[in-house]
Chain A
């Protein structure tokens, strides 16, 4: 984890010049095995999601009453079939599309709006800050899953609304993190230096302070994708997210939970898929945090 080694590798001024901070961090991240393992898991699932029609052996919606609850390894149904005779592997593969979209979409909502509020709050302070922070405090006072359920109940139980609900409910964390970084960064000398060069507020906020506040937000967002996937599965499990027959992992678990004693694989394999993806994002997120947090550097 010693950055000096990297400099030696390309000590020539020309190659050194190409090394941006992000490139340097990438080199550090590459050395972190668990983070890379996480990244490989994510890449694997992204691949499955993108090429689902090619990779999946069957149509995930195709029912076959004769083949209900076939056990795993019953060729050609590698992971068996569910109670409607649908191929579980194919449904998991298609499900990765939904889960990843949920993860990224929900995180994008909280990332964009949460950071924006945090950035303005931290930069300008004043009445906007006071109001925004009180609203955030109120949101944080609710148990998280309850808040999500309330929002879904208000919007109606669809997959899109579940994503929006998860995004809104997670927004306060991003606001807090962003505001804290902005408060620290705006006192930095370079901000005053740029002011002295005649740089205006908006430009300062978005062009110079924001890029310096990205590190903790990136960590939070990476970890957030994993939790958003779990939460959407939980909502689907409660019947508030994806609706049948969508091949959503949480929904697959929910609709098969009554067979768990005689056909455990129907519940277990989607569960393993959830665990793997979330693990992937958590490992990557932790790795990114290790790289970006200066206190963890030696």
Chain B
């Protein structure tokens, strides 16, 4: 199976060097995505999802950020060993990214057509006219009405959903879009447009056999889109596995908490009241050597404070990092 891994992250550590100390934003992260597959990276704000995405793109702001160790293999090639120049060639070519904020992710002073055309000029060496024609084509592909007129619009003339489509169009314009990273692509959109955007993404993904890293905290989106799921908490991966396993048989208390706080999940909704996970993600500086979820976990015992749990695997590649995995009855 090792060979079909298109993206393979091994032992990734990313830290931020701040005034108050070294903040470990991502610790010992292993992730992989097969060709054409969708991996959902879930977890609440501040758990290291976006930092992971930036690390793949090698766009961790430095200083203060630093990729301490690990390997990020894209099609067998370690991105962390590349020079900045080589990496520039990979960005927008092999990996493309859709950002969280459609309202601010487009340059406000340029027409959207020019911004999409830029990709074709940079990566295909097209002249401006041909690139603009391609831009129209791309806008049409993401189903923006009257694309030949819309290319002349400025970002402020578009709605949030349309801007997000423009972002997707730009991301899809890359010559060999092997991997697309979508960092909460729908959080800024309203629900009806969310569904359209997600449909569009999975449709396009199927048509070009692209791997998708979907970063989200919306379990509904996960259920809709993902093949596999990795749950992150405070910079650590705490559970990963096939999407059905995660939803049917979650083993980590945090995953259970996430699923319970999903409004539409009948199975985990008790007494008609939405559950929340008590407390907040601990400050990353305060995490000791134990399990990071220990202070919010109903089932925490002494050992949870002392030692980060070892991996426990069950069939189908379902892995969990909890001392009591399989022993807790979440009823």
Q: Interface of A with B (CB < 8 Å)? A: 13-14, 16-21, 188-190, 192-200, 208, 211-212
The residue in chain B whose Cβ has the minimal distance to the Cβ of A199 is: B122
Name the CB-closest residue of A to B95. Answer: A196
B interface residues, how many (CB within 8 angstroms): 37
B106 surroundings in chain A (CB, below 8 A): 190, 193
Contacts of B93 in A (CB 8 A): 198
Cβ distance A258 to chain B, nearest Cβ, rounded Å = 54
A13 touches B108 (CB 8 A): no
Known: A199-B118, A200-B88. A192 touches B99 (CB 8 A): yes
User: Is the Cβ of B122 less than 8 Å from the Cβ of A190?
Assistant: no
B97, A20: Cβ atoms under 8 Å? Answer: no
Q: Pull 10 A–B residue pairs with CB atoms less than 8 Å apart, ordered by A.
A: A16-B153, A17-B153, A19-B157, A193-B105, A196-B95, A196-B96, A198-B122, A199-B118, A200-B88, A212-B108
Expressed in whole angstroms, the Cα–Cα distance for A197 and B89 within the complex equals: 9
A16 CA to B59 CA, complexed, in Å: 36
Q: Report the minimum CB–CB distance from A127 to chain B (whole Å).
A: 14
Q: Evaluate contact between B107 and A212: CB separation under 8 angstroms.
A: yes
Q: Which of B66-125 contact A (CB under 8 A)?
A: 88-93, 95-97, 99-101, 104-111, 118-119, 122-123
A193 contacts B99, CB within 8 Å?
yes
Partner of B108, one of A21, A196, A198: A21
A residues in contact with B191, CB < 8 Å? none
Please give the distance in Å from A58's CB to the nearest CB on chain B. 48
Write the chain A residue with the least CB distance to B119.
A197
The distance from the CB of A165 to the nearest CB of chain B, in whole angstroms, is 34
Contacts of A189 in B (CB 8 A): 99-101, 104-105
Q: Which of B89, B109, B157, B167 contacts A212 (CB 8 A)?
A: B109
Q: Which residues of chain A are within 8 angstroms of B156 by Cβ–Cβ distance?
A: 21
Across the interface, name the chain B residue whose C-beta is closest to A209.
Answer: B107
Given known contacts A189-B101, A196-B91, A200-B88, A20 and B149 CB-to-CB distance under 8 angstroms = no
Question: Which of chain B's residues have a CB closer than 8 A to the CB of A16?
Answer: 153, 157
Cβ–Cβ < 8 Å partners of B90 in chain A:
198
A190 touches B105 (CB 8 A): yes
The reply to whether the CB of B259 lies closer than 8 angstroms to some CB of chain A is: no
Complex contact A198–B92 (CB within 8 A): yes
Report how far A198 CA is from B85 CA in the complex, Å.
Answer: 9
Out of B57, B118, B149, B167, which one reaches A14, CB within 8 Å? B149
Using CB atoms, name the residue of chain A closest to B145: A13
Residues of A within 8 A of B107 (CB): 190, 194, 208, 211-212
